[in-house]
Structure 1
Amino acid sequence: MDGVQLYTRSAGEGLPVVLLHAFPLSSAMWLAQREGLAAVCKVITPDLRGFGGSVLGDDEPSVDVMADDVVRLLDHESVDRAVVGGLSMGGYVTMALCRRHPDRVRGVILASTKATADPEAVRVNRERIAAAVLDAGPAILLEEVLPGLVGRTTAQRRAMVFGRVRGLVQSAPPAAVAWAQRAMAARPDSLDTLRGLEVPALVIAGEEDELIPLATAEAMVDAVPDGRLAVIEKAGHLSAVEQPEAFNRAVAGFTAELAGGSPPHG
């Protein structure tokens, strides 16, 4: 496979768990996961192409290309099979990876994401935002994307968390933003991929997520043969950043189950 070599940050050892970041952030969003989960697994957090420390390359926009990048990273790290998970855009890439490389996946984590393709109106809006970012920089992201990324509790009571998310959005490279929007707009429906999963799946939903309603998460759990749902209270779309302890507990329980241990109670 051609493509780009992803910049990655890793922590811990044991069962490999790959976490793929949301749009338009970078692997910086997983700081609390690298710190909090390193005791129970090897956390691998790449920057998807164009974001953070990874170059964009010259491939046509596609979540399939992004998934192949992640598999190339697994090869580079000598990881045969990993738990692969992602939040929002990272979830789309995870589902593409499950479709294209099912033999590399030991378990799946899908947080604040959806399996259905974009309706026409959403695709048109993604193209509008892509064009605006290339033309005028990140202002439109701060106006239109940032408010939906966190829940009301974070917006009202957690100014430092909100400020951190704002900083990550503001530093997103315009070319990567446009490329990723176009890749997401072109992605296929993945419900059949979920129905065909032969590994366990953890679906994580933020209680206050206004972009991905709880019913969407429940439909994904229903689609997979072996699924379970974790709802993160007082969190919106970026549950891993807004309520990292609760997010980490859900992931740690799931990885313990996969590693053959019993999941912690609570």
Structure 2
Amino acid sequence: MGSVMCEEITVGYEDEGSGAPLVLVHGHPFDRSMWRPQTEHFSRAGWRVIAPDLRGYGESTTVPGKTPLETFARDLLALLDRLGIEHFVLGGLSMGGQIVMECYRLFPERIRGLVLADTFAAAETDEGRAARHAMAERLIREGMTGYAQEVLAKMVSWHTLTHRPDAAAHVLAMMKATAPEGAAAALRGRAERPDYRELLTRVSVPALVVVGAEDTYTPVSDARDLHARIPDATLAVIEQTAHLPNLEQPDAFNAVLVEFLNSLPQSAAE
């Protein structure tokens, strides 16, 4: 783990293992520790796992105002350039998945494979835009705690709350620790994101779409839509999980990801 100055901000990140690079982008309002089960597993399985904190989250600099997805994508590229990583498999969950799509729009030639978890490609509706701006104002006004307690039972499944209280506690702690200004800036930026649906039809690298069977934020129907658009994509639905299958059922999630990574052409693993 470490931190480095990239352009005008400091970025906290994990860099574990050696081998072909696997880059994992966290969702909102979390931090890079949401990928701990994957960082630990894949760094021991022949991959170099890079998991950064996005600006405004974890140990990275909080920049108030508005953070468009393009800014997150360019931060990521600056970090990878700094680490000397030319080509990589890129995965993201929820907002992280939308950042992955933005990365594919901006620098597809760097990406060897895509992992899109619990995310969706359509642009925001007018209603959705208004809701994101209203939530941004609320978080600035009230802080993260009330929101975090409110949404926990949507972020993770009933099964996780009951049988994996450690995972539920980790999710709650990440949300409460997030800087309200960083979360608000991301919400404002995401309200204006482009529509990635047409881009997905032009994806020319292998792609894995993963979703929790009980996700209500980005339901299985959203995952099926991504899967239908991306040529030759693979779809996996993880049972007994909601919006964070990688943390709720890490063994099942890792098994799906192992199978996908092992199926990549050899050039992807160079």
For the aligned pair, the TM-score class normalised by the smaller chain equals over 0.9
How many angstroms apart in 2 are the aligned matches of 1:181 and 1:60? 8
How many angstroms apart in 2 are the aligned matches of 1:138 and 1:129? 11
% of aligned pairs identical? 35
* 1:161 corresponds to 2:167: yes
The residue matched to 1:225 in structure 2 has which SS? Answer: coil
Contact kept, 8 Å, 1:10 with 1:43, in 2: the verdict is yes
How many angstroms apart in 1 are the aligned matches of 2:237 and 2:212? 6
The residue matched to 2:138 in structure 1 has which SS? Answer: helix
The residue matched to 1:6 in structure 2 has which SS? Answer: strand
- AA aligned to 1:248 is N
* 1:205 corresponds to 2:211: yes
Instruction: Tell me which of 8, 11, 16 is aligned to 1:6.
Output: 11
Corresponding residue number in structure 2 for 1:83 = 89
Deviation at 1:8, TM superposition (A): 0.7
Corresponding residue number in structure 2 for 1:107 = 113
Matched pairs, number: 261
Instruction: Tell me which of 247, 250, 253 is aligned to 1:247.
Output: 253
Corresponding residue number in structure 1 for 2:20 = 15
TM-align CA RMSD: 1.7
Deviation at 1:168, TM superposition (A): 0.9
Contact kept, 8 Å, 2:121 with 2:197, in 1: the verdict is yes
How many angstroms apart in 2 are the aligned matches of 1:248 and 1:5? 30
Structure 2: where are the runs of 5+ without partners? 1-5
* 1:67 corresponds to 2:76: no
- AA aligned to 2:253 is F
Contact kept, 8 Å, 1:118 with 1:185, in 2: the verdict is yes
Corresponding residue number in structure 2 for 1:264 = none
- AA aligned to 1:99 is R
* 1:137 corresponds to 2:169: no
Deviation at 1:59, TM superposition (A): 7.4
Corresponding residue number in structure 1 for 2:36 = 31
Cα distance, 1:138–1:168 mapped onto 2, change above 3 Å:
same
Deviations for 1:26-46, whole angstroms, at most 9, x for unmatched residues? 001111111111123111100
Deviation at 1:57, TM superposition (A): 3.6
Report the TM-score when normalising by structure 2. Answer: 0.92
Contact kept, 8 Å, 1:5 with 1:73, in 2: the verdict is no
Cα distance, 1:238–1:14 mapped onto 2, change above 3 Å:
same
* 1:194 corresponds to 2:200: yes
Deviations for 1:138-165, whole angstroms, at most 9, x for unmatched residues? 1342244333211121123222211111
Corresponding residue number in structure 2 for 1:237 = 243
- AA aligned to 1:11 is E
Deviation at 1:47, TM superposition (A): 0.2
* 1:41 corresponds to 2:60: no
Contact kept, 8 Å, 2:64 with 2:182, in 1: the verdict is no
Deviations for 1:27-81, whole angstroms, at most 9, x for unmatched residues? 0111111111112311110000011111124674200110011111110111111
Deviations for 1:196-229, whole angstroms, at most 9, x for unmatched residues? 1111110001111111111110110111112001
How many angstroms apart in 2 are the aligned matches of 1:9 and 1:29? 11
Deviation at 1:4, TM superposition (A): 3.0
Contact kept, 8 Å, 2:20 with 2:88, in 1: the verdict is yes
How many angstroms apart in 1 are the aligned matches of 2:84 and 2:265? 19
Contact kept, 8 Å, 2:27 with 2:92, in 1: the verdict is yes
Report the TM-score when normalising by structure 1. Answer: 0.93
How many angstroms apart in 2 are the aligned matches of 1:223 and 1:90? 19
Please, which moves more after superposition, 99-108 or 55-64?
A: 55-64
Please, which moves more after superposition, 55-64 or 43-52?
A: 55-64
Contact kept, 8 Å, 2:115 with 2:207, in 1: the verdict is yes
Instruction: Tell me which of 39, 59, 69 is aligned to 1:53.
Output: 59
